[in-house]
Amino acid sequence: MDLTTPLTYVKGVGPARGAMFEAKGLLTVEDLLSYVPFRYEDRSNLKVIGQLAPGEMATVIAEVRAARIAGFRRRNLGLFEASFTDASRAILVGKWFHGAYLEKVLAPGMKVALYGKVEFDSYAGQLTMLHPEYELLSGEDEDADSALHVGRVVPIYEAVSKINTRALRVLAHRVLDSLAPLADELPADLRRRLKLPDRWTAIREVHFPPPESDLRLLNNFRSPAQFRMIFEEFFWLECGLALKRSKARTLPGIGFQLHERVREQIKAMLPFKPTGAQKKVLKEIADDMAEPHPMNRLLQGDVGSGKTIVAAEAAIIAIENGYQVAVLAPTEILAAQHYFYFKQLLGKLGYVLVLLTGSFTSREKGQLKKLLAEGLAHVAIGTHALLEKDVEFKRLGLAIVDEQHRFGVMQRLELLQKGLHPDMLVMTATPIPRTLALTLYGDLEVSVINELPPGRKAIITRHVTADQVERVYSFLKKQIEAGRQAYVVYPVIEESETQAMKAAEKMHAHLSREVFPEIPVGLLHGRLPSDEKEAVMEHFKRGDLKILVSTTVIEVGVDVPNATVMVIEQAERFGLAQLHQLRGRVGRGAEQSYCILVTEKLGQAARERIRALRDSTDGFYIAEMDLKLRGPGEFFGTRQSGLPSLRVANILRDQEVLEIARREATDLVAHPPSEEELRRVVAFIRDHWQRRYGLVTVG
């Protein structure tokens, strides 16, 4: 047996279990060993019932004597009681609230291990354990393996379908028993410096901690063995990323010249004084563009921090060097809006801009494509339509992707392939801690705008329940009388816009006819033809419409500084990041802005989201809360977003390990101890990268 042996070859894994493992992505012995315990219990204090002392944590092995759902008065609590006995003939009573399901599990005569805190019920004169952990000790593996389950620090695994922690423990043990000691692939010097246990020791101790183990460290994932495995997983990932980056730095690319004319044009374009943060990131971008290698840069900045103007500056650098620029946006509305915004900024410099979205006729598209292919248009702004095969550029020099989390890695590549090693700038308004960004976006360099334009007042966020909506209306009315504008937004339900659209239509009718008959109210949703969408946006922008009732099509990017109120209906249905994005549609001018969250039914998770939102307007804080509430997998979306799949490590919990791993990896790639060592690392990564991290290319 070795690490690559299929799990189905392991004794005790038949076709049924094999299929359950496979459904979880566990195929080989190595996969099983990477499926590490999520918790440990110290069951080394093995006692007989007669020796138990109240107050101690202890494990006993005992037989079920009687079991029942307790007295009819307490029936609705579903209190389940079982009494246990062992060779000492003493009795221990286990109690489980909401334990009715145990009736089918614990039957008289069964042998079990119980682990928990011993108490003395003086009323009944009994030793008890409330909610003890239990494990059935009958069946196939009793004799050979029962020493695995009690009398030691015991690993607890998350069940894999019907394969419970006990079965997993037996399998892990069996596999470790049949393997020859594993070689250690980490550089020896690194291991020595960081005092890491060797790989074989680490793997065994993660599954079966030695007797003197510190339970607290274990349950915080920081025992030396756990640390080593987490570190290792990050380390190889970071080595791969570092190799990718160092390779990118040797690729031929465009070295844009930052000559005098570029400066003049930027000056002529700027409608306001850039903030310090905007200046800083522009310098990072410009320096990067000047390098004769392709730029690969992520621009992070909270909603409203002013990323667009920085993108426009980068565009000028490219255009003044004789190149074209592509701007990719996730929605038609956003593409259209960028088009108008960029046109305002860049049109006055004499540049030609085109907008290309799916809703143009093929004849219109044909004409626009011709302009691009012949190099007559300098900037192309569009949606996915830009990625179509027959969209060609004469000389694409800079690709800009807005709201990059809406696009996958493949789409970024498709865009890049329209030029010869063009530079790329991707922008996101979902800010995350830097190390995380550096890892998740792998080979991207990161620039951060951490400052809002001057004169912004913090948005005031209020939460009201649906029955108080009249108060919201009268507030809206006051704001509109004061010359402001407002959004009222409905959630998209279950991926389909239809219901949200209906809700929005109904609300639009209600508001425009009954509540605000004398105020112009517009309606925007994804099903409108795109010229109608644009017209509505345009009217709202110009201030002809005072209230815009909308589905979440306005979630990203929309910029109307005079709008000061964002009312979000059924706010409990939105995710945190989405709420923050929506709120970011207001607070874009000098006036005080408000975000009003209206909720109907508020569950626990939604309550926490709303609290986070009321507590803070800081996108970094919100993103971290969101990550915590939802977990990295859901937060970052599908695999196509480029998120590496991690097994042992957890990108949130283990951030400080990630930082160490990244430092060590970067260092190793930059200053390898020897050519041979570097070759070994490269080969190792080539062999393991895709299997381990689900990432397709090392480059």
Distance of CA 640 to the CA centre of its chain: 12
Q: How far is the CB of 301 from Mg ion (least distance, A)?
A: 8
| Residue 550 binding partner per list ligand ADP, Mg ion, none, with a CB distance cut-off of 5 to 8 Å that depends on partner kind | none
Contact present, 46 and 151 (Cβ < 8 Å): yes
| Residue 588 binding partner per list Mg ion, ligand ADP, none, with a CB distance cut-off of 5 to 8 Å that depends on partner kind | ligand ADP
Token pair 């909603």: residue: 303
SS3 619: helix
Q: How far is the CB of 286 from ligand ADP (least distance, A)?
A: 17
CA distance 392 to 375: 9
| Residue 677 binding partner per list Mg ion, ligand ADP, none, with a CB distance cut-off of 5 to 8 Å that depends on partner kind | none
- Which range binds ligand ADP by CB under 6 A, 197-205, 258-266, 304-312, 461-469? 304-312
For ligand ADP, the closer CB: 275 or 617:
275
Q: How close are the terminal C-alpha atoms of the chain, in Å?
A: 33
Window 557 to 616, contacts with ligand ADP (CB under 6 A) = 559, 561, 588
Helix (H) or strand (E) segment spanning residue 129 = strand 126-130
Interface with ligand ADP: number of residues (CB under 6 A): 18
SS3 274: coil
Contact present, 545 and 520 (Cβ < 8 Å): yes
130 beta partners: 95
Q: How far is the CB of 462 from ligand ADP (least distance, A)?
A: 22
Q: Which amino acid is at 258?
A: L
Window 428 to 447, contacts with ligand ADP (CB under 6 A) = 429
Q: How far is the CB of 403 from Mg ion (least distance, A)?
A: 7
Q: Which two tokens stand for residue 110?
A: 């069964």
308 binds ligand ADP (CB under 6 A): yes
- Which range binds ligand ADP by CB under 6 A, 176-184, 306-314, 474-482, 532-540? 306-314
For ligand ADP, the closer CB: 463 or 588:
588
For Mg ion, the closer CB: 412 or 585:
585
- Which range binds ligand ADP by CB under 6 A, 12-20, 305-313, 476-484, 519-527? 305-313
Among 29, 33, 148, 309, contact with ligand ADP (rule: CB under 6 A): 309
| Residue 306 binding partner per list ligand ADP, Mg ion, none, with a CB distance cut-off of 5 to 8 Å that depends on partner kind | ligand ADP
Residue 256 CB neighbour total at 10 angstroms: 24
Q: How far is the CB of 328 from ligand ADP (least distance, A)?
A: 14
22 burial type by CB count under 10 A (0-12 exposed, 13-18 middle, 19+ buried): middle
Q: Which two tokens stand for residue 3?
A: 């690490």
Residues sharing a CB contact under 8 Å with residue 292, sequence separation 6 or more, in sequence order: 252, 253, 254, 255
| Residue 59 binding partner per list ligand ADP, Mg ion, none, with a CB distance cut-off of 5 to 8 Å that depends on partner kind | none
CA distance 570 to 582: 13
- Which range binds ligand ADP by CB under 6 A, 271-279, 328-336, 523-531, 675-683? 271-279
CA distance 590 to 350: 31
- Which range binds ligand ADP by CB under 6 A, 25-33, 215-223, 268-276, 463-471? 268-276
272 binds ligand ADP (CB under 6 A): yes
379 beta partners: 325, 353
What is the SS3 string spanning 411-464?
Answer: HHHHHHCCCCCCEEEEEECCCCCHHHHHHHCCCCEEEEECCCCCCCCCCEEEEE
| Residue 275 binding partner per list ligand ADP, Mg ion, none, with a CB distance cut-off of 5 to 8 Å that depends on partner kind | ligand ADP
Q: How far is the CB of 485 from ligand ADP (least distance, A)?
A: 14
Q: How far is the CB of 693 from ligand ADP (least distance, A)?
A: 31
Window 441 to 480, contacts with ligand ADP (CB under 6 A) = 453
DSSP 642: T
Q: How far is the CB of 498 from Mg ion (least distance, A)?
A: 28
Would you list the DSSP string of 159-190? -BTTB-HHHHHHHHHHHHHHSPPPPP-S-HHH
Residue among 380, 375, 386 nearest 326 (CA): 380
| Residue 587 binding partner per list ligand ADP, Mg ion, none, with a CB distance cut-off of 5 to 8 Å that depends on partner kind | none
CA distance 577 to 609: 9
- Which range binds ligand ADP by CB under 6 A, 245-253, 301-309, 367-375, 637-645? 301-309
| Residue 301 binding partner per list ligand ADP, Mg ion, none, with a CB distance cut-off of 5 to 8 Å that depends on partner kind | ligand ADP
* 670 backbone dihedrals φ, ψ, rounded to 5°: -75, -40
Q: How far is the CB of 180 from Mg ion (least distance, A)?
A: 56
Q: Which two tokens stand for residue 52?
A: 């138990």
Window 504 to 563, contacts with ligand ADP (CB under 6 A) = 559, 561
303 binds ligand ADP (CB under 6 A): yes
Window 204 to 223, contacts with ligand ADP (CB under 6 A) = none
- Which range binds ligand ADP by CB under 6 A, 198-206, 216-224, 272-280, 495-503? 272-280
Residues sharing a CB contact under 8 Å with residue 464, sequence separation 6 or more, in sequence order: 471, 472, 596, 597, 598, 599
| Residue 608 binding partner per list Mg ion, ligand ADP, none, with a CB distance cut-off of 5 to 8 Å that depends on partner kind | none
Q: How far is the CB of 406 from Mg ion (least distance, A)?
A: 12
Among 155, 557, 587, 642, contact with Mg ion (rule: CB under 5 A): 557
Contact present, 60 and 47 (Cβ < 8 Å): yes
Interface with Mg ion: number of residues (CB under 5 A): 1
- Which range binds Mg ion by CB under 5 A, 80-88, 315-323, 385-393, 554-562? 554-562
Contact present, 452 and 305 (Cβ < 8 Å): yes
| Residue 431 binding partner per list Mg ion, ligand ADP, none, with a CB distance cut-off of 5 to 8 Å that depends on partner kind | none
CA distance 76 to 589: 57
How many degrees, rounded to 5, is the angle at CA 291 between CA 285 and CA 297?
35
CA distance 693 to 688: 8
Which residues of the chain form contacts with ligand ADP (CB under 6 A)? 272-275, 278, 301, 303-309, 429, 453, 559, 561, 588
Which residues of the chain form contacts with Mg ion (CB under 5 A)? 557
